[in-house]
């Protein structure tokens, strides 16, 4: 086998006998390192097949971890419980101290359980953490686009989002969702599935782009639809200065629709299996969603003046009441439901179908 073989995606030592395992002492490992300077293939073959390393000094352990990462191009984890493991713990991609003594100073992670069961927990939490980070990124990206879309459409008619609407969106809808959605626990079972580690990953970008198209499309529809209604009246240009926050039908409809889009995109992006628990196991998230849905119901079906339980919600939020009882409100509710269903189904399709096909395609290319 040519030691300089690089055209194949399969590593040269993968062709070795799978039943062969190697055990090395510290002296043998030093001898292998010396041989490796002249015969890298021999060293890499030994490292790939070695299962046991015994009588290793602290410096040997650090050299071993470095050789595994440098020569085999792998991420290496190290568990240690003493001061003689500090060098290897610092060199490893992931270092776990099994003791709260000296080794805990050098290791990024410290386990209270004095055995390697903590590795499984760390892998589960690590996968869940990176998936949660991508979920948070996509949610923040979408809420920015949703709010920007509403603002741009209102600028076209000479107004903008009302101050109390901004306050409600930021304090009631966005901040609680951004905080509690990230507290969903990791999956109880560790699988071989690997989450992506880069934002420039086709399914991630596709998820964001598709959701943006859906949310903007819904807002465009209602922005144009409300202007066709018989009760519609444009803003009187004599009563306000261009760019001031002035109540209007367009702003009222977009506020109702956008409020639902915020929490529905957050729900759609809450990826569960195989990395995290389902979102409904997160009590804080469930309570937050229930409260926001209740507020959305109040905002959508504000009682008319003179009705029982009437509150001047419209004036508080800077909205205009619809004079056709609740007919157009139910039409908005139907649009919100359709928007929510399409958003969730599109995300499920991307996660469960497109992502798997994309990963299988990448695996075939590598093979």
| Residue 262: HSE in the Cβ half-sphere, 13 Å Cα cutoff | 28
Q: What is the CATH number of the domain that holds 61?
A: 3.40.50.1000
Q: Is residue 209 part of a domain?
A: yes
- 164 and 291: one domain? yes
% the chain with pLDDT above 70: 88
Q: Is residue 279 part of a domain?
A: yes
- 55 and 143: one domain? no
5 has pLDDT over 50: no
How much is the pLDDT for 238? Answer: 58
Q: Is residue 6 part of a domain?
A: no
CB 120 within 8 A of CB 189: no
pTM over 0.75: yes
- 248 and 354: one domain? yes
| Residue 155: HSE in the Cβ half-sphere, 13 Å Cα cutoff | 6
Q: Is residue 7 part of a domain?
A: no
Q: Is residue 201 part of a domain?
A: yes
- Helices 26-36 and 58-71 cross at an angle (nearest 10°) of 40
Q: What is the CATH number of the domain that holds 147?
A: 1.20.1110.10
Q: Is residue 167 part of a domain?
A: yes
Indicate the pLDDT class of residue 18, thresholds 50, 70 and 90.
Answer: low
pLDDT tens column, 244-275: 678 888 999 999 999 999 999 999 998 778 88
Measured distance CA(312)–CA(299) in Å, rounded: 11
- 272 and 328: one domain? yes
How much is the pLDDT for 7? Answer: 37
**Lowest mean pLDDT: which of 7-11, 52-56, 100-104, 348-352?**
7-11
Measured distance CA(211)–CA(267) in Å, rounded: 12
The candidate with the shortest Cα–Cα distance to 318, out of 252, 270, 223, is 252
- 205 and 102: one domain? no
- What burial class does residue 25 get, using C-beta atoms within 10 Å of its C-beta: 0-12 exposed, 13-18 middle, 19+ buried? middle
Report residue 186: phi and psi, to 5°: -75, 160
Q: Is residue 1 part of a domain?
A: no
- 132 and 105: one domain? no
The candidate with the shortest Cα–Cα distance to 29, out of 70, 2, 69, 57, is 57
Which of 74, 99, 119 is the endpoint of a domain? Answer: 119
| Residue 246: HSE in the Cβ half-sphere, 13 Å Cα cutoff | 18
- 216 and 238: one domain? yes
For residue 330, give its domain range. Answer: 127-366
Q: Is residue 4 part of a domain?
A: no
β-sheet bridge partners, residue 110? 97
Q: Please, which residues have CB within 8 angstroms of residue 175's CB and are 6 or more apart in sequence?
A: none
pLDDT tens column, 126-179: 999 999 998 998 999 999 999 999 999 998 888 888 888 888 998 888 888 888
Indicate the pLDDT class of residue 212, thresholds 50, 70 and 90.
Answer: very high
SS3 call for 55: coil
- 346 and 216: one domain? yes
Residue that wins the pLDDT comparison between 102 and 189: 189
- 46 and 65: one domain? yes
Which of 85, 102, 119 is the endpoint of a domain? Answer: 119
The candidate with the shortest Cα–Cα distance to 85, out of 76, 74, 98, 72, is 98
Indicate the pLDDT class of residue 345, thresholds 50, 70 and 90.
Answer: very high
Report residue 326: phi and psi, to 5°: -115, 10
- 89 and 138: one domain? no
- 114 and 181: one domain? no
- 224 and 253: one domain? yes
Which of 119, 147, 169 is the endpoint of a domain? Answer: 119
**CA 350 to mean position of chain CA atoms:** 14
Domains identified in the chain, total number = 2
pLDDT tens column, 300-326: 887 655 555 555 677 788 888 777 666
- Look at the chain and count its residues: 367
β-sheet bridge partners, residue 96? 79, 109
């Amino acid at each position: 086998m040519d030691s300089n073989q690089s055209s194949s995606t399969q590593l040269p030592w993968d062709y070795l006998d799978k039943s062969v395992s190697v055990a090395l002492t510290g002296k043998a490992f030093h001898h292998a390192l010396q041989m490796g300077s002249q015969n890298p293939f021999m060293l890499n073959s030994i490292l790939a097949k070695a299962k046991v390393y015994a009588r290793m000094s602290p410096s040997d352990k650090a050299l071993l971890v470095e050789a595994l990462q440098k020569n085999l191009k792998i991420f290496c984890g190290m568990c240690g419980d003493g001061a003689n493991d500090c060098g290897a713990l610092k060199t490893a991609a992931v270092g776990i101290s099994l003791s709260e003594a000296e080794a805990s100073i050098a290791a990024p992670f410290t386990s209270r359980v004095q055995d390697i069961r903590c590795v499984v927990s760390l892998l589960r939490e690590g996968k869940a953490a990176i998936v949660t980070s991508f979920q948070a990124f996509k949610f923040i990206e979408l809420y920015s686009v949703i709010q920007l879309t509403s603002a741009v459409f209102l600028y076209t008619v000479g107004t903008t989002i009302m101050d109390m609407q901004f306050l409600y969106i930021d304090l009631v809808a966005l901040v609680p969702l951004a905080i509690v959605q990230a507290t969903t626990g990791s999956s109880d079972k560790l699988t071989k599935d690997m989450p992506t580690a880069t934002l420039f990953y086709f399914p991630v970008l596709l998820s964001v782009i598709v959701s943006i198209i859906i949310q903007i499309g819904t807002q465009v529809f209602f922005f144009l639809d409300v202007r066709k209604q018989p009760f519609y009246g444009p803003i009187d240009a004599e009563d306000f200065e261009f760019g001031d926050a002035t109540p209007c039908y367009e702003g009222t409809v977009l506020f109702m629709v956008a409020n639902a889009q915020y929490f529905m995109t957050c729900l759609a992006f809450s990826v569960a299996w195989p990395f995290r628990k389902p979102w409904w196991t997160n009590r804080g998230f469930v309570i937050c969603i229930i409260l926001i849905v209740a507020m959305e119901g109040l905002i959508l079906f504000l009682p008319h003046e003179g009705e029982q339980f009437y509150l001047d919600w419209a004036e508080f939020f800077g909205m205009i009441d619809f004079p056709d009882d609740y007919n157009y409100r139910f039409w908005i509710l139907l649009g919100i439901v359709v928007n929510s269903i399409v958003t969730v189904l599109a995300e499920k399709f991307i996660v469960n179908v497109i992502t798997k096909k994309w990963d299988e395609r990448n695996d075939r290319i590598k093979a």
